[in-house]
Amino acid sequence: MLCQHCQKNEANMHMKRIINGSATEVHLCSDCARSLGYGDSFSGFGLGFSDLFRDLLGKGERTLSGNALRCSLCGKSFDDIVESGRVGCAECYSTFYDKLLPTLRKIHGKTTHQGKVPSAFENSHKTQQSKVEKLKADLKKAVEKEDFETAAKLRDEINYIVNGGAAK
């Protein structure tokens, strides 16, 4: 779609305004949007993700001490993460787990990945999950009966399935 203003460039900004119940749409290229003042439409509203993340992490949690705990991989402190609103690296999640966990729960609602399974593996994945659940129930019964030899075998089988067939 071409820009509605210059009729030359491809429109890459699409705005919809509703004023008094009447909706109008505007399709502009980035140059025209900037010249018409649409470029900074959301500045001032504080809608940046880093601002949201920084607020959720809590400005009051800052330690402001020179010897604060730092990530062993990237060197960021929790104060740095709060200030920037960005985690430095994957190791930061382990280093600052206790401090990040409440914020991650607020943002995502869960702390474990609940992603999709490819359709080709969906049935085998469900079968594998139900098998693990049955094994866990059997493990619990074996422990209650104090049959620790069977319990150990069941534990090993569960670990084998959960770790994708890789032996520990």
Q: Where are the domains of the chain?
A: 1-41, 49-108, 119-162
Pick the residue with more confidence: 81 or 168?
81
> Quick one: pLDDT at residue 145?
93
**Mean pLDDT for the chain?**
77
> Quick one: pLDDT at residue 85?
79
Phi, psi angles (nearest 5°) of residue 133: -60, -40
> Quick one: pLDDT at residue 60?
45
Pick the residue with more confidence: 28 or 20?
28
pLDDT digits (tens, 9 = 90+) for 127-141: 777 888 899 999 999
Q: Is the pTM of this model over 0.85?
A: no
pLDDT digits (tens, 9 = 90+) for 55-97: 655 544 444 455 578 888 888 988 888 888 788 888 888 888 8
Amino acid at 53: F
Amino acid at 161: I
- Residue 115: pLDDT band with limits 50, 70, 90: low
Q: Where are the alpha helices (DSSP H) in the chain?
A: 30-35, 49-57, 78-84, 90-95, 97-108, 122-144, 148-162
Task: Name 42's bridge partners.
Answer: none
> In the chain, pLDDT over 70 holds for what percent of residues?
70
Question: How far is the C-alpha of 142 from the C-alpha of 35, rounded, in Å?
Answer: 73
Token look-up 């880093």 returns 50
Integer Rg of the chain from CA: 26
